[in-house]
Amino acid sequence: MKKLLLSLITVGIIATGCTNTSEPETTAADATPDAAESADATMPEMEGMESTSEGNVEISLVSPHDSVPMGDTEMILEVKDAATGEPVTTDSLKVDVSMAMEGMEPMMTETTVSPGAEPGLYEVQTYLSMEGPWAINAAVDEGEKAGTAHFMLEAQ
């Protein structure tokens, strides 16, 4: 009888310890709202993000305009002198393509940049592996000639 009573008490204690009557656990982002807000500030909103270009070199997305099929993608970028509008020939055009992933680092994709058919035009080859909004960040940095630009493309 003592063994049965001892066993029932042990099972009762274990069962009581396994139940969760406390508040749900919070994540680090819930515990520190400022940290979540600062993370959101470093990751731009994808929808509604306007195309921008800064610096004395203007970089613009010639094609495609808003959406592309998911998969292999070709973009045409134009690089011009912001003051004169003349085409700029450069070997330092860098293009990063990424997709924001909630709760994770952005998904990056490789790009290949090559000169286009005319001066100032550049073909960018990449692979968009998922449907949704992709951010394109382009930069030229050649000493006196420098500029950055940001565009959004929707893969469908």
47 domain-assigned = no
Residue 94 has what DSSP assignment?
E
Range of the domain at 25: 2-42
Backbone angles phi, psi at 41, to 5 degrees: -70, -30
Alpha-carbon distance of 97 to 117, in angstroms, equals 23
What is the rounded distance in angstroms from the CA atom of residue 112 to the CA atom of residue 128? 13
Q: Are 148 and 139 in contact (CB under 8 A)?
A: yes
Identify the pLDDT of residue 17: 53
* pLDDT (average), residues 62-78: 90
The residue length of the chain stands at 156
User: 6-20, 29-43, 45-59, 112-126: lowest mean pLDDT where?
Assistant: 29-43
Give the confidence band of 13 by pLDDT, cuts at 50, 70, 90. Answer: low
Query: For the chain, how far is it from start to end, CA to CA, in angstroms?
Result: 70
pTM recorded for the entire structure: 0.66
Same domain, 8 and 76: no
Q: What is the model's pLDDT at position 57?
A: 92
Tell me the CATH number at 72.
2.60.40.10
- Over residues 83-123, the pLDDT tens digits come to 999 999 999 999 999 999 999 999 999 999 999 999 999 99
Structural domains of the chain, count: 2
Q: By three-state DSSP, how is residue 150 classified?
A: strand
Domain membership flag for residue 14: yes
pLDDT at 144: 87
- Tokens encoding 18: 């396994």
Is 34 a residue whose pLDDT tops 90? no
Do 84 and 20 lie in one domain? The reply is: no
